[in-house]
Amino acid sequence: MSNEPVGGELRTHSIAVGYATWILGFFGAHRFYYGKKVTGTIWFCTLGLLGIGWIVDFFLIPRMDAEADRRYAAGPYDYNAAWLLLAFLGLFGAHQFYLGKMLTGIVWFLTGGLCGLGWLYDLWTLNEQVSDRNRAS
């Protein structure tokens, strides 16, 4: 589970999920997962800096994981669950429902994630959304 303490601090993200998303990393998936929005977008547009950045990231994932654990708040909402829901059911608002955002979830469900644009926005902001909900709990 991602909230298990390591070295005195609670974990928010998982190295295993980081490496699993790294497999599709030339699209920036692992960078978005760890909250690196700008470089995630660059990886997406350049296929991981033509594969070179993707290979380098294999060695950087432990550091990205530790940074994410320090940056985002742990709590009752699991980052991995939210990311899985966004990845597979995001256009239907499943991640919004999971976070207790019923109105947004209904809007996403009825509009296909606002025709995909809201889904893209959530790709950029999901870590902050989960962190905010965890801090409010």
By DSSP bridging, strand 9-10 and strand 5-6 are antiparallel
- Outline where DSSP puts E strands in the chain: 5-6, 9-10
Q: What is the mean pLDDT of the chain?
A: 93
Bridge partners (DSSP) listed for residue 10? 5
In this prediction, residue 5 carries a pLDDT of 57
Q: What is the pTM of this model?
A: 0.90
Amino acid identity at 20: A
pLDDT tens digits, 33-87 = 999 999 999 999 999 999 999 999 999 999 999 999 999 999 999 999 999 999 9
What are the residue ranges spanned by the domains of the chain? 5-71, 79-136
If residue 19 lies in a helix (H) or strand (E), which one and from where to where? helix 15-22
